[in-house]
Amino acid sequence: MGVGRTDGKVLFVPHTAPGDTVEVDVVSEKRGFAEGRIRKVIIPSSLRQHSSCVYVERCGGCHWQHIRYEEQVDWKERIFLETLKRIGGIDDIVIEPCIASPSPLGYRTRAQFHVKSGTWGFFEAGSNDIVEIEECPVLHPVLNKAFQALRDFIETEYRRCAIHTVEIGLSEVDRKAVALIHSSEEMVLGRGGMVGKIPCIKGVRIRRSSSRRDRAWKETYSEGDTGLAYILQGLNMRVDIAMFSQINTVQNSRLVEAAIAFCNPTRGDYVTDLFCGGGNITLPLSMRCKEVTGIDVDRLTIEKAGFNAERNTIRNVRFIRANLFKGLKSIDIGKPPTILLDPPRGGGMGVLKEVASLKPGRIVYVSCNPSTLGRDISILKRYGYNAGRARIIDMFPQTYHIEGIVELLYSGGRQQSRCSG
């Protein structure tokens, strides 16, 4: 959000841009700050642009469509560096240029839609109300087409069903979509189902659950091919629609390349990839070094990682299923010279002490949350690690989300300074 001041108090206002002169209604007062809503833009900032989305004022998906893309990239770099300094306590770090997205729109290859009483769309900003949409400019065209076709089919054929969430992903290799439907009631499709009647969709799975995050879900139906296939660094990759995967496949390839460059592997190196998921970085990395070990807690992702290794005839990688937050002591990983950390948004605080106890010469930390990244870096500094270089990859244009990579080098407990960036 944009930041201003009123009556000596900090005021946060969404959909503003640095340099705007605006008339604002204060909508909430907190002890140390207030939040507002634009009533009128009096003098627009030079950073502003016209948004191509008719839903942007209500929809909670995009936050920065009103700002020119090159300015979005510049501000993400500023925010990333400021966060590392403020939370991570890093004064000297080499910041490499941001890898901007070649497609600020139409890049998203996965999306989650919410459904209620025949209304299909995204949550409104700050609420659970649904903003009904027809199409989204951030989504890949195939996803927009699949969303419209699936919605129309279900509303016609299964109008009384209790669907609450629909996830749709693009299988890039065959340019078709896969849907994962969450319903609070039993929902079994009749003969022929959806795949034969919706040409742009190749697979459908249905789960009975009270919410998308309900762990007690029950799968009630599956039809067609529910895998998402894509090419990554020359590898034929496949993930399941129910698995986590990056939503920007073009930038994902660049992220993997940057992470590997930060690892700086040689043919004789051993690398351990913690929170490896389906092997997104593990498998391309294995082609540059002697052996890679990938560890993750989710059974499905570990199985799929092994499957992708086999289908690409990769022999110098092993995958282990383990809960990293319960410790590394029971896992035989030796003392790898390089450890790659790619934890969820909450960060890797539960595993940092044990990682540091292995004393790898280099830790490469991939993060989608600069705040927890900064916190974890401040912890690793206590164990003798100093930030060498950092870079952000803009995975999520039009939003404030930042994906970053930081290289941490072991200094034997001595704080040493790098050149400033």
Torsion of CA 309, 355, 371, 80, to 10 degrees: -70
Q: Give the domain extent around 9.
A: 2-48
Structural domain includes residue 44: yes
Pair 390, 350 in one domain: yes
- 135 and 257, same domain (yes or no): no
CA distance 133 to 55: 7
In a domain, 15, yes or no: yes
CATH number at residue 284: 3.40.50.150
Residues recognised as catalytic: 368
Residue 386 in any domain: the answer is: yes
Nearest-angstrom CA–CA distance, 190 and 337: 55
For position 68, what pLDDT does the model report?
96
Long-range CB contacts for residues 149-152, cutoff 8 Å, separation at least 24 = 149/198, 149/200, 149/201, 150/179, 150/194, 150/198, 150/201, 151/120
Q: Does the reported pTM lie above 0.85?
A: yes
Is 55 within the bounds of a domain?
A: no
Count of structural domains within the chain:
3
Residue 138 belongs to some domain of the structure: yes
Identify whether the C-beta of residue 87 lies closer than 8 Å to the C-beta of residue 371.
yes
Inside any domain, residue 415: no
| Residue closest to 328 by CA, chosen among 307, 350, 308, 346 | 350
CATH code of the domain in which 40 resides: 2.40.50.140
Does the residue 419 lie in any domain?
A: no
Q: What is the pLDDT of residue 420?
A: 32
6-25 tens-digit pLDDT: 888 899 999 999 999 999 99
The model's pLDDT over 176-227, given as tens digits with 9 standing for 90+, comes to 999 999 988 876 655 557 788 899 999 999 988 887 777 778 888 888 999 9
Instruction: Output the pLDDT for position 190.
Output: 53
- Residue at which a domain ends, from 179, 197, 230: 230
In a domain, 287, yes or no: yes
Clarify whether residues 186 and 290 are in a common domain.
no
Residues 95 and 22 in one domain: no
CATH of the domain at 204: 2.40.50.1070
pLDDT > 70? residue 421: no
Answer whether 287's CB lies under 8 Å from 263's CB.
no
* Statement to judge: residues 84 and 194 lie in one domain: no
**Residue 408: pLDDT above 60?**
yes
8 lies in the same domain as 32: yes
Same domain for 258 and 224? Answer: no
Residues 400 and 353 in one domain: yes
